[in-house]
A and B are shown apart, each in its own frame.
Chain A
C-alpha cells in the first residue's frame, strides 16, 4: 500500500474531519436511521473519496476484515460478496467497488447485538478491486480483494 499517501490523508483529514462528520452526518443515522441516504457518498468515484464522504480522514488496512467472494465472477450482474469483521465495536460495513461508475455499493449499520457480518450480491462493471470498509470504534479500516469479471453487469 501507498503508506505516504495514507499519512497525508490522515494528517489532512484526521480529527477535524471526523468531528465535522460527526456533527454533520454521522450523528444523524441513529436518530432517523431509515430514511437517510448519503447522496455525496454514493456519488464518489474513488476509495479515498468514499472514505471521506462517509466521515473518515483515512482508512487503515486490517487483517481483521474478511471478504468472501469469488476470484472470478462470470456474470458481473450478480456477484456474491460477504464481509465479516473481527474488529471490536464494528459499527458499519460498507462495500466499495473501485471501477464501478460510482464506488460505494452499500453501507450497513451494525448495532450492538448484531454480528459484524453481512452478505449480499452486487453488480460489477468490470474486473476491479472490491473493498470492505469497516468503521469500528469511530475509526475506518479496510480489506481489499480483486474480483475478475468475465461479463460486466452494468451495461445493456
Chain B
C-alpha cells in the first residue's frame, strides 16, 4: 500500500484550489538496475478527483509524470468544510484514495 497523498484544498475567491502530492515510484520500465536488468514499469495511470459526488478532474497519465507526482488545479462550486476525494490507480492495479477538507484560508505549502 502506498503512502497517503498530501492534499491541500483551499478557497481562492469563489474557487477551490487543490494541490496534491502523491507517493509513487512512477517507474518508466526503461531504466536498468545495478545488475543491468530492466526495472518493470510501475506508474499511476488514472487519477480522479471527486467533490460532492461530482468528478471535478480526471486524468490519464503515462510514465513521464515525475516520481511522487504533483498536481494543481482549481474548480468552482466548493465550500469550506466540504470534502475533496482523490483516487489513483496504477498499471499493476494498486490504488489509493485520500480525502481532504476544503479550508478557508490558504496555509503554508507542505515542506516545499
Contacts and interface: CB of A to CB of B under 8 A. Distances in A.
Contact of A114 (B46, B60, B65, B75): B75
A109 B87 contact: no
Tell me the dominant secondary structure on chain B's binding face. Answer: strand
B65 A120 contact: yes
Nearest to B59: A108
Contact of A34 (B46, B67, B74): B46
B71 interface: yes
Interface stretch (B1-9, B50-58, B99-107): B50-58
Contacts, number: 116
Which 4 pairs of residues, A with B, have the shortest CB-CB distance?
A119-B72, A105-B64, A121-B66, A114-B75
A97 B64 contact: yes
B31 to A, nearest CB: 6
Contacts of A123: 26, 28, 63-66
A107 B73 contact: no
A33 B65 contact: no
Interface of B: 15, 26, 28, 30-32, 45-46, 48, 54-67, 69-77, 87, 89
Of B48, B56, B61, B63, chain A has the most CB atoms within 10 Å of the CB of B61
Interface in A77-129: 77-80, 82, 97, 100-102, 104-111, 113-115, 117-124
Given A34-B87, A106-B65, A120-B65, A111 B57 contact: yes
A2 B48 CA distance: 37
A77 B67 CA distance: 8
A104 B46 contact: no
Contacts of B59: 106-109, 118
Given A105-B62, A114-B75, A123-B26, 19 more contacts: A34-B46, A35-B46, A35-B89, A36-B46, A41-B60, A77-B67, A102-B63, A102-B64, A105-B64, A106-B65, A107-B59, A108-B73, A115-B75, A118-B72, A120-B66, A122-B65, A123-B65, A154-B30, A155-B30
A119 B71 contact: yes
Interface residues on A, range: 35 or more
Given A35-B89, A108-B58, A114 B64 contact: no
B25 to A, nearest CB: 12
